[in-house]
Every structure is written in C-alpha cells, then in structure tokens.
Amino acid sequence: MSELREPDLPRTMKTRGGKALRSGWTTGTCSAAAAKAATFALLSGKPTERVEVALPGKDGQWAQRVTFPVERCEELKPGAWQAVVVKDAGDDPDVTHGAHLTATVSWREGKGVGAAAAATQSAISLAGGGIELEGGEGVGVVTKPGLGLEIGGPAINPVPRAMIERAVSEALGTGASGQGEGQGQSAQATADGRVLRVVISVPGGEVMARKTTNRRLGILGGISILGTTGIVRPFSTASWRASVEQAVAVLGAQAESTNAPLPPLVLCTGGRTEKGAMALLPGLPEVCFVEVGDFTGAALRKAVEHAVPEVVFVGMIGKLTKLAAGILMTHYTRSAVDTDVLADITRRATGDDAVAERVSAANTARHAYEVWQDAGVLDSCGRVLCDQVAGVLERFAEGHIAARAALVDFTGKTLVAASSNWVAA
C-alpha cells in the first residue's frame, strides 16, 4: 500500500534569466491604497500623489508597510473624491494585472452605521461615526452561500475589507499608522457622527471576471477583491489552492440552502478534463465541477469539512499515476511519475511480465499508456489504475468520503477506463 504524501511547494517556483520572479500586489492591497489616498484628498482638499498602507501579518498583526504611487486623484464634486491605484501583479500571470482599482469616498450624513452597510457587514464604527464599504462597477456581487460573504453584498473578502478599513482609519487619524497621518483632521471628521462612504470599483472588471471561476461560484458582474497577505507571489499556487477550497465550500453550502443531499464533488485536472467530466456526468449541476489542478489533498480536506459524501476524480494518466502512488499534491516540482507503479498495476491487471517490463521502462506516463494501448490492455489496466486512485482518495479522507475515478484520453473527451464502482450518470 502506497504511503500518502502531500509535499509543499516552494514559494517561487520559477526564475527568469537566473533571477527570481518579481512579486506583486493583490487587488485588496491596491484597493486599500486607493481608499486611503481618496480619504486623504477628501480631508485636505488636495490630490494625493503617494500613499502608504500596512500589509496583514500573522496572528492578527500588521507586517510591513508599502508605498504606492497614485495614478489619478481628483474631486468629483464637492465632498466626493476619487483615487486610482494601478495593480502591479509582478511576474504573475494574473488577469487583473494593470487593473485600475478605484476608490470613491464621500460623507454621508447621519449617526452611526447605515442600514445598507450593516446588511453587508462591511461597516466599522468610529468615534460617533463609521465607515461604509460598498462595491461599485466591476466588483462582483455574491449570489451563492459558501463564500463567507453576505449574499447580495460585494465580493470583497474579509482580509481586503480589514485592509481597506485600516487604511481609511489611518487617513482619518483613528488608526495606529505610527506616523500621525491625518491626526489633525480626525476630531472634526468624526465628532459629528458622519459616516464615510467608501465605494471600490474596477473599470472593466466584468470583462476580467470572464477569465475567472467567479460565475460558477455565484459571483456575478465583476471580479473579487482578494488577498490574504497583500502580496501576489509569482506563479503563485496559493491563489489556485484558495480558489479550489472556495469552490468546494460553495458546493458544500448548497445543502444548507436547499436542504437536499449534496451531489458528488467532481475534481478535474484542467479545462479539457473538466469538459470531458461534464459530458460523462451530465446530470450534475455545474457547481459540482472543480478544476483542482495539483491540489487534490486540499480539495479533499475541504470536502470532508463540508460533509461532501462522494468525490469523483477525472484525469489523464499522468495525474492519475501520481495519485495512485499516494501523492496528493502533484505539481511537477515536487513529484514525478513513477512508471514502476504502472508496471505493478500491469502485472495485477494482466499477469503479463513482458508488458509490465515495457511499462516500467517507459519514458513517461503517456509512453506507458501507449504500451498498454499497443498490448490491448488499456481498458483492464486503466480500470485497476482508477480503482487504486479511488482507494487513495478514500484513505486520505480517512473513510469520510466515497470515491470514484475515471481515466480520459489526451483530448479529455473520451472515457478510457473507470473504477469498478463507476456510475455514468
């Protein structure tokens, strides 16, 4: 029986020209910077050119501080200012790289926090007043449970909310900036109980969101304002892992909202296998299908947490071979295909040592697949492979989840083999 392993990934997995790739900033960090710049401008009556914000650290502490240039800062009308910070994602292939994170701030009369802000849980209290945080153009609206955000509210995650609120509080002189920023303005700004309305928007965000999984997660009309550390790591797997866990959480929340048994969670290695899985399992809703990438272990843990009863894994031979070997984090930098695993499967499925030796000597998993195909044993060996994968998934989940597995061809469209317990619909 294979040992279960889930190796960690390095923080930066690739270099360019011998140098580590450049980190960037999350949409949450840039939104906080824009909000602080606009608040400074509102208080001073002058445009803000540069602004400094704090990044979140461990255990609720705030770590380093970062200074951002302000792309644009202008008064829209008396009592309303707008500032823009352009997102720099570093060398990460982020769809929001270059996005104009825009904050518009204005005073709203009235004591305490307004009803609209209370409904979206996006307000904090100040001395007699408060801050209302809203989503504007290009920021998605939450329509499904499971994201930890209020349905009908803006898709601004908790850490970015905290960053924005801290940045604005610093500008108002109520936060511990360490620099006394805005201290002279705070009494006048908050003593009369006025509420500062902060609207975060992203021009073009709705188009950007088409390249994300937002629609499937029930986030409509724009992007999410994201980030847990404030920093985008180059080719960061942290964001993918987080999106996988979020997708599983959304599926898990369906039982709470519908009072119906949860359908299976279908894990697919990529876009091609996901399309193939949807064709194989047409009776399942779209929310069941998750592009898991390399993070099968993370998805399984989240599935157990949300009492998902069954997992179906659909993949090509390379990922399935790694899973069959007990490797639950399958990125190429941390694991390689072991053709001896496939040779052992060949012996068990066929009893043919000659074919098994050819498989053991194969250069890649695809080469082994071709050996099976040439020997006419692709179906029988594929079935044993899928049975072994299903067993690994169930062991990793410590018996809390039933598992099935399917092997598809390299187009992702054709079912080659499936575990013995496979059900087609």
- Pair 56, 62: CB distance under 8 Å: yes
pLDDT greater at residue 1 or residue 108: 108
pLDDT greater at residue 33 or residue 64: 33
Q: Are 278 and 186 members of one domain?
A: no
The pLDDT, as a whole number, for residue 240 is 66
pLDDT greater at residue 356 or residue 259: 356
Q: Are 326 and 280 members of one domain?
A: yes
Give the whole-number percent of the chain exceeding pLDDT 90: 49
Residue 383 pLDDT exceeds 70? yes
Strands 265-268 and 289-291, how do they pair? parallel
Q: Are 335 and 209 members of one domain?
A: no
Q: Residue 165's pLDDT band (boundaries 50, 70, 90)?
A: very high
Domain end position, chosen among 186, 208, 232: 232
Residues forming a β-bridge with 104:
82, 199
Q: Residue 123's pLDDT band (boundaries 50, 70, 90)?
A: very low
Q: Is residue 2 part of a domain?
A: no
Q: Are 35 and 169 members of one domain?
A: yes
Residue 104 pLDDT exceeds 80? yes
* Mean per-residue pLDDT, 317-341: 79
Residues forming a β-bridge with 403:
311
CB atoms within 10 A of CB 172: 25
pLDDT greater at residue 381 or residue 191: 381
| Residue 348 to residue 381: CA distance in whole angstroms | 8
Task: Tell me the Cα Rg of the chain.
Answer: 25
- Pair 30, 36: CB distance under 8 Å: no
CATH of the domain at 28: 3.30.2110.10
Q: Are 249 and 217 members of one domain?
A: no
| Residue 85 to residue 102: CA distance in whole angstroms | 7
| Residue 300 to residue 284: CA distance in whole angstroms | 19
Residue 25 pLDDT exceeds 50? yes
Highest mean pLDDT among 182-191, 239-248, 282-291: 282-291
Q: Are 41 and 27 members of one domain?
A: yes
Mean pLDDT of the chain: 82
Residue 398 pLDDT exceeds 50? yes
Closest to 249 in 3D by CA, of 293, 297, 307: 307
* Mean per-residue pLDDT, 312-323: 93
- Pair 252, 307: CB distance under 8 Å: yes
The pLDDT, as a whole number, for residue 174 is 54
pLDDT greater at residue 237 or residue 116: 237
Q: Are 352 and 253 members of one domain?
A: yes
Q: Is residue 128 part of a domain?
A: yes
> Residue 312: which residues within 8 A CB-CB, separation 6 or more?
264, 265, 266, 267, 277, 281, 403, 404, 405, 406
Residue 198 pLDDT exceeds 70? yes
Cα dist from 271 to 324, 337, 366, 413, whole Å: 22, 21, 19, 11
Domain end position, chosen among 232, 266, 299: 232
Q: Are 27 and 82 members of one domain?
A: yes
Q: Is residue 297 part of a domain?
A: yes
* Mean per-residue pLDDT, 355-376: 91
Q: Is residue 155 part of a domain?
A: yes
The pLDDT, as a whole number, for residue 190 is 46
Q: Are 160 and 260 members of one domain?
A: no
Q: Are 114 and 144 members of one domain?
A: yes
Half-sphere exposure of 58 (CA within 13 A, CB side): 0
The pLDDT, as a whole number, for residue 108 is 82
Give the whole-number percent of the chain exceeding pLDDT 70: 79
Q: Residue 246's pLDDT band (boundaries 50, 70, 90)?
A: confident
* Mean per-residue pLDDT, 338-365: 93
* Mean per-residue pLDDT, 189-194: 56
Q: Is residue 4 part of a domain?
A: no
Q: Residue 420's pLDDT band (boundaries 50, 70, 90)?
A: very high
Q: Is residue 8 part of a domain?
A: no
Domain end position, chosen among 200, 232, 264: 232
Q: Are 280 and 201 members of one domain?
A: no
- Per residue in 217-231, pLDDT (tens digit) is 789 999 999 877 776
Q: Is residue 15 part of a domain?
A: no
Specify the number of domains making up the chain. 2
Q: Are 47 and 189 members of one domain?
A: yes
The pLDDT, as a whole number, for residue 337 is 77
Q: Residue 178's pLDDT band (boundaries 50, 70, 90)?
A: very low
The domain in which residue 166 lies consists of 21-232
Q: Is residue 270 part of a domain?
A: yes
Q: Residue 387's pLDDT band (boundaries 50, 70, 90)?
A: very high
* Mean per-residue pLDDT, 55-63: 79
Residue 124 pLDDT exceeds 50? no
Residue 71 pLDDT exceeds 90? yes
Specify the range with the lowest mean pLDDT, choosing from 43-57, 78-92, 253-267: 253-267
Q: Which two tokens stand for residue 15?
A: 């270099």
Residues forming a β-bridge with 197:
106, 132
The pLDDT, as a whole number, for residue 127 is 37
